Amino acid sequence: MKLVQVTKDNLRKVVNLKLDETQIGLVSDNVLSMAQAAVNKDYQPRVVVVKGQIVGFLMYSEWLNADWAPVPRPNEYYIFRVMTDRNHQGKGYGRLMMNKVLEEIRAKNPKAIHIGYSESNQVARNFYQSLGFVEYGHFNWGDVAAKIEFK
């Protein structure tokens, strides 16, 4: 598995990735994510590639220059999109891609890595806690806020 940048050559495949019906409304559409990335140079969209096939998408940014970041937190990062295509769920790709993106962000020597999820999404809560994220409250848009801090 590898993470690669979204480019003009793989954009259509990113847009065509689909969520499982039970996840619709819990994760923003990839079209919206790509529109946001087009106007914010700090956003880091990545496709998840396994054996030459795109199986998922994620996006993160340093906690700067974003509408969700009214108070900048330099050297802190927020993973705000994570999705695995419905045809590739249940294969362990979610954990692998999160490990890959955490590794990519850790290479930047961050103070913290944040993630958010819906209060009602117990699967996400358990998953992110198993990766080391610790809840610390709620973002002002309502999602549970969790983070991994580094010394």
Domains of the chain, residue spans: 2-149
Q: pLDDT tens-digit profile of 117-139?
A: 988 889 889 999 999 999 999 99
Beta-bridge partner residues of 54: 49
Q: Of 69, 89, 82, nearest to 128 (Cα)? A: 82
Q: pLDDT tens-digit profile of 20-52?
A: 776 766 677 888 999 999 999 999 999 999 999
Q: Does domain 2-149 have CATH number 3.30.1130.10?
A: no
Terminal Cα distance for the chain, rounded: 29
What is the SS3 assignment for 89?
Answer: coil
Q: Give me the pLDDT at residue 57, please.
A: 95
Q: 53: burial class by Cβ within 10 Å (0-12, 13-18, 19+)?
A: exposed
